A and B are shown apart, each in its own frame.
Chain A
Amino acid sequence: MTQVTDAPARSRAQIAAKTLRKDQWWRQPAVNATFLGIAVIYLTWASLVNNHYYAAPLISPLYSPCLATTCTAHAGFSWIPWVAGLTPAILIIWGPMGFRFTCYYYRKAYYRAFWQSPGACAVREPHAKYTGETRFPLILQNAHRYFFYVAIIFNLILTADAVFAFRNAGGGWGHMSLGTIVLIVNAGLLWLYSLSCHACRHVTGGRLKHFSKHPLRYKAWTFVSRLNAQHMQLAWISLGFVCFTDLYIRLVSAGVFHNPQFF
């Protein structure tokens, strides 16, 4: 006689623990949250205080280009009428900020560190519902490509700032100080960070189906891909160095520290 049994219920193994991981999985998100937190607090403070961002010929990357009429004398362009006391940084800071906020690496870092989505792999997240990046506001992350283009413009401006740093305080060319090196390194790191961007990788060649038909773009893509593998490292180093550059100029401008002049 054939014996008929019900098919087993299709259900998952019921394991109540949020995770069975025994390693210190909470460390990496905690470290990232700390450093991201410090950077965000410092950068917010530094762009809101509205002082000590210019020590001729050095300008802080947070305030460059300085477009408002209220900018420190000789620091910028005085194009946009502006309320005294309100920081001119907000005219421009959305560019680099939006670029980093929508960056694929930072997304990973803050989704994990701040939103616990997930805090670490194979650790249950605390949210009842999840829609990822399919709805407003997170669907706006798809604008990253545009922030990449904006970031390129900022990189050009900050590179020009580094070139202008080959002057002395009086505007004479052919001089160099420690501050010049700081601005050059800062611009260089920002270029490396931006060029290693995933959107950059897509537009240089990633979008193609036939690399063999576009040898030059294939070369560019290969180069960007190599940088792209270091994108996380470049994201952190360039972020840290932007903070350092601002702090350096801030201290020089406040007279705490004298910018050593080489020649």
Chain B
Amino acid sequence: MGNKVKLRVWRGDAGKGDLVDYEVESNEGEVVLDVLHRLQATQAGDLAVRWNCKAGKCGSCSMEINGRPRLGCMTRMSLFEPDETITVTPMRTFPVIRDLVTDVSFNFEKARQIPSFTPDPSIGLGEFRMQQVDVQRSQEFRKCIECFLCQNVCHVIRDHEENMPAYAGPRFLMRIAELEMHPADTADRREIAQDDFGLGMCNITKCCTEVCPENIHITDNALIPLKERVVSRKYDPLVWLGDKITRRVHQDTQKVPGKSSGHGAARSDSRAKPGRGRHQR
């Protein structure tokens, strides 16, 4: 069989634990997840590790390997020197359940808070037609496998846990960008993107883009375009003046915490009237 490799794995639960050294067999062509499974089968039967597809498509096996956020099933052993000690730790940003398994429910809570797709009700089911060029941009974002490595690496919450309530993270700011670019969506999430989801805290340092296993250009194609849209809504004096002159009233959506279908209720008393204002651009 193959050669022995040195692994150092974080073992513990409820936050308390330690790095434990192991020597495990490894064969040519294997990935880190394979070696962890062999460790589990031969020496540490109680090692907790989450996985599912082994093909980089389910987003379950997110972990940190030699300090870098990665998918265990997509990290080849050939990346390391034969005598190198490979350190494997759980994602640092999320509470640990046990060993390499973290509780990522933060992400599901954030996902639920985003006002969902809001089509124009006057257009009947199946009537809306859209062109490929109109959806092309956001199709890139649909490649996301929800591994949450971007959420994990983002220093806004990784290094400042206290920001977690106020910050949605790159994955969900990208979701807002996707909806804002959607040709059939009529809600305006620009103000809440800044005020409720913390877009202003992102300082575009691109770590999310660096770790994304789907190579989505999160910063360049979602976060910066969203920042530019927010500038138009909140910080651009010319746009503000234009709004005053044309008496345009913005129908900003409201964040609806804990409600899975927050159909873009307007900030004012009246409901957003889809199909008006900027949405016809």
Interface residues of chain A, those whose CB is within 8 Å of chain B, are 8-15, 19-23, 104, 107-108, 111-112, 117-118, 121-122, 124-125, 127, 129-134, 138-139, 142-145, 198-199, 201-202, 206-213, 218, 228-229
Can you list 29 A-B contacts (CB < 8 A)?
A11-B14, A13-B10, A13-B12, A20-B64, A22-B87, A107-B203, A108-B204, A121-B153, A121-B207, A122-B68, A122-B92, A125-B159, A130-B156, A130-B163, A132-B156, A132-B198, A132-B203, A133-B203, A142-B230, A142-B231, A198-B225, A199-B228, A202-B225, A207-B228, A207-B229, A208-B281, A209-B181, A209-B183, A212-B131
Whether A211 contacts B14 by the Cβ 8 Å rule is: no
Chain A residue, CB-CB nearest to B97: A8
Instruction: Tell me, yes or no, whether B210 is within 8 Å of chain A by CB.
Output: yes
Per a CB cutoff under 8 Å, which of B102, B161, B200 touches A133? B200
Instruction: Tell me, yes or no, whether B16 is within 8 Å of chain A by CB.
Output: yes
Instruction: Tell me, yes or no, whether B170 is within 8 Å of chain A by CB.
Output: no
Whether B68 contacts A118 by the Cβ 8 Å rule is: no
Instruction: Tell me, yes or no, whether B155 is within 8 Å of chain A by CB.
Output: yes
- By size class, the interface of chain B is 35 or more
Chain B residue, CB-CB nearest to A142: B235
Instruction: Tell me, yes or no, whether B266 is within 8 Å of chain A by CB.
Output: no
Known: A122-B153, A133-B201, A206-B225. A14 touches B16 (CB 8 A): yes
When distances are taken between beta carbons in the complex, the residues of chain A under 8 Å from B161 are 12
Known: A198-B228, A209-B134, A209-B181. A131 touches B201 (CB 8 A): yes
Instruction: Tell me, yes or no, whether B21 is within 8 Å of chain A by CB.
Output: no
When distances are taken between beta carbons in the complex, the residues of chain A under 8 Å from B16 are 14
Instruction: Tell me, yes or no, whether B165 is within 8 Å of chain A by CB.
Output: no
Contact with A along B159-199 (1 / 0, CB 8 A): 11101000000000000000011110100000000000010
9 A-B pairs with the lowest CB-CB distances in the bound complex, closest first: A20-B67, A11-B15, A132-B201, A21-B67, A121-B207, A202-B228, A212-B131, A134-B200, A10-B95
Q: In the complex the two chains form, what is the Cα distance from A117 to B154 in whole Å?
A: 11
When distances are taken between beta carbons in the complex, the residues of chain A under 8 Å from B225 are 198, 201-202, 206
Q: In the complex the two chains form, what is the Cα distance from A209 to B280 in whole Å?
A: 8
Known: A12-B15, A145-B228. A107 touches B153 (CB 8 A): no
Known: A209-B183, A210-B183. A124 touches B159 (CB 8 A): yes
When distances are taken between beta carbons in the complex, the residues of chain A under 8 Å from B97 are 8
Whether A12 contacts B94 by the Cβ 8 Å rule is: yes
Q: Name A's interface SS.
A: loop
Chain A residue, CB-CB nearest to B163: A130
Q: How far is the CB of B92 from chain A (nearest CB, A)?
A: 6
Instruction: Tell me, yes or no, whether B146 is within 8 Å of chain A by CB.
Output: no
Q: How far is the CB of A213 from chain B (nearest CB, A)?
A: 8
Q: How far is the CB of B102 from chain A (nearest CB, A)?
A: 8
Q: In the complex the two chains form, what is the Cα distance from A7 to B50 in whole Å?
A: 20
Instruction: Tell me, yes or no, whether B236 is within 8 Å of chain A by CB.
Output: yes
Known: A117-B155, A125-B155. A12 touches B92 (CB 8 A): yes
When distances are taken between beta carbons in the complex, the residues of chain B under 8 Å from A121 are 68-69, 153, 155, 207, 210-211
Instruction: Tell me, yes or no, whether B206 is within 8 Å of chain A by CB.
Output: yes
Q: Which residues 216-246 in B have Cβ within 8 Å of A in the complex?
A: 220, 224-225, 227-232, 234-236
Whether B211 contacts A13 by the Cβ 8 Å rule is: no
Instruction: Tell me, yes or no, whether B122 is within 8 Å of chain A by CB.
Output: no
Whether A118 contacts B155 by the Cβ 8 Å rule is: yes
Instruction: Tell me, yes or no, whether B1 is within 8 Å of chain A by CB.
Output: no
Q: In the complex the two chains form, what is the Cα distance from A130 to B185 in whole Å?
A: 33
Whether A12 contacts B96 by the Cβ 8 Å rule is: yes
Q: How far is the CB of A114 from chain B (nearest CB, A)?
A: 12
Whether B205 contacts A112 by the Cβ 8 Å rule is: yes
Chain B residue, CB-CB nearest to A8: B14
When distances are taken between beta carbons in the complex, the residues of chain B under 8 Å from A212 are 130-131, 133-134, 183
Q: Which residues 65-79 in B have Cβ within 8 Å of A in the complex?
A: 66-69
Whether B15 contacts A107 by the Cβ 8 Å rule is: no
Instruction: Tell me, yes or no, whether B25 is within 8 Å of chain A by CB.
Output: no
Instruction: Tell me, yes or no, whether B17 is within 8 Å of chain A by CB.
Output: yes
Known: A13-B17, A210-B134, A212-B131. A111 touches B205 (CB 8 A): yes
When distances are taken between beta carbons in the complex, the residues of chain B under 8 Å from A122 are 64, 67-69, 92, 153, 158, 207, 211
Q: In the complex the two chains form, what is the Cα distance from A112 to B155 in whole Å?
A: 11
When distances are taken between beta carbons in the complex, the residues of chain A under 8 Å from B227 are 142
Q: Which residues 237-281 in B have Cβ within 8 Å of A in the complex?
A: 279, 281
Whether B200 contacts A145 by the Cβ 8 Å rule is: no
